[in-house]
Amino acid sequence: MVDSHIHTEFSSDSEMKLQHGIEHGTKLDIGMTITEHLDLKFPTGTDFTFDIDKYFKDYEKYKSSKLMLGIEIGMQLNCIEENREIINKYPFDYVIGSIHAADGEDIFNPKSYEGKSKSEFFEQYFSSMVDCVKKYDFIDSLGHIDYISRYATYKDNEINYLEFKEYIDEVLKALVHNGKVMEINTRRLKNVEAYKNLVQVYSAYKQIGGKYVTIGSDAHYAEDIGNNFTVASRICQVCDLKPVYFKNRKMEFI
């Protein structure tokens, strides 16, 4: 397997040393793709960015058949061209496109949910995702479709497929149409409700024509690399999807 979503110390919210990550990955005998955070024009007014030249300079020597260098970009409509330029400029193996902000609201921040019903905020989240997935034609995979479920402040935070079908299907159709894949983010897979809902989402992806998924732990600590990968494999089997990873921006089969 390849863990296609890992943050080391180049990401502002991780202190992981690459060396520790490599030690852990070697112990598990899995490949790894490093995907540092780049969130331009974030609602808080700051760019969450990193020194990409230094990233390649420091990590280039660790690249191998089992270690790839990628990036996770935060997709928003106000920075498409800036992101495109960066992706074109550097030799990334893999690009995750993620929604960390919806219509100028930080999804991580509990204040963003104040005074809004679940359906109101989730619809805002999914419409941003629909718009971005259509326009970000230079990503490889859509990251954590259930990101909002980690931080929303409602009693039920799940992205219930039937409730948001209209939006989710549009996201999935746009991905398939643009030849992009979806990530299975393993962060929430121990949660039974999350698992049940996600199986519905990935089944819909298959129905709509999706064939491939990347699998990523979103690890910010070495010990989290490869977390819940057996559950992710089960989703692949249940939904008949093939796990893949990317090298030199090309899909590779596992």
* Residues at the interface with Zn ion (CB under 5 A): 72, 98, 218
Distance separating alpha carbons of residues 75 and 135, to the nearest angstrom:
9
Least distance to Zn ion from the beta carbon of 68, Å? 15
Least distance to Zn ion from the beta carbon of 229, Å? 16
Residues sharing a CB contact under 8 Å with residue 91, sequence separation 6 or more, in sequence order: 56, 69, 248
Q: Which residue is nearest to Zn ion (CB)?
A: 98
Least distance to Zn ion from the beta carbon of 8, Å? 11
Distance separating alpha carbons of residues 36 and 130, to the nearest angstrom:
23
* Nearest residue to 96 (alpha-carbon basis) of 124, 75, 68: 75
Amino acid in position 189: L
The H or E element spanning position 22 is helix 18-28
Distance separating alpha carbons of residues 223 and 25, to the nearest angstrom:
9
Q: Strands 67-74 and 31-38: what pairing? A: parallel
Q: Which residue has the tokens 């995907």?
A: 35
Least distance to Zn ion from the beta carbon of 35, Å? 6
Looking at the Cβ atoms of 72 and 170, the one nearer to Zn ion is 72
Cα separations (Å) of 81 from 88, 107, 114, 138, 141? 10, 23, 32, 10, 18
Residues sharing a CB contact under 8 Å with residue 232, sequence separation 6 or more, in sequence order: 184, 186, 189, 215, 243
Least distance to Zn ion from the beta carbon of 5, Å? 6
Looking at the Cβ atoms of 146 and 218, the one nearer to Zn ion is 218
Distance separating alpha carbons of residues 6 and 4, to the nearest angstrom:
7
Least distance to Zn ion from the beta carbon of 225, Å? 13
Amino acid in position 191: N
Least distance to Zn ion from the beta carbon of 156, Å? 22
